Amino acid sequence: MISVAKKKKPATNVLARNKKARHDYTILETYEAGIVLTGTEIKSVRAGRMNLKDGFARVRNGEVWLENVHISPYEQGNQFNVDPLRNRKLLLKKREIKKLIGTTQNAGITLVPLRVYLKHGVAKLLLGVARGKHSYDKRETIKRRDQDRELRRVMKNRW
């Protein structure tokens, strides 16, 4: 019998997640963006010392900027550490930026960081184009999730 080798998926290592994003927003579209970081910041990110909870992105002067994301100072970085809450530039293609400019002009649309991960040794950010949920939408999502969980539990016990 001949065995066929499976293709390996590219190595992605999730370093930080924004767990509240999918609860508070309806994600319409996602983009993968690079992040411009300093040397001590990337070391801190690789250690998983990053918080995306209150972060958002904004398009200014044809560039996309990540704001209000906290990257803890690197312990061995001393004088090379920078402000933990500084704005960081996101690297996207020009046509993606133009598309984001058009979509963010609509009322209620925002750019939310979903997760940060390593891809081939480079830090990437998954950026979501999102619309805020109302409280009744959040309750509906929780209700649907509980129903799915109950259905899976019942089906598991049937077999």
Q: Considering its fold, how many domains does the chain have in total?
A: 1
In a domain, 26, yes or no: yes
Distance from first CA to last CA of the chain, Å, rounded? 32
Q: Does 11 have pLDDT greater than 60?
A: no
Give residue for tokens 């994600």: 27
Q: What is the CATH number of the domain that holds 39?
A: 2.40.280.10
| C-alpha span between 45 and 121 (Å, rounded) | 12
| C-alpha span between 74 and 6 (Å, rounded) | 39
Kindly report, residue by residue over 38-96, the tens digit of the pLDDT.
888 888 888 888 889 889 999 999 999 999 999 888 888 777 777 778 899 999 999 99
Are the C-beta atoms of residues 131 and 107 closer than 8 Å to each other? no
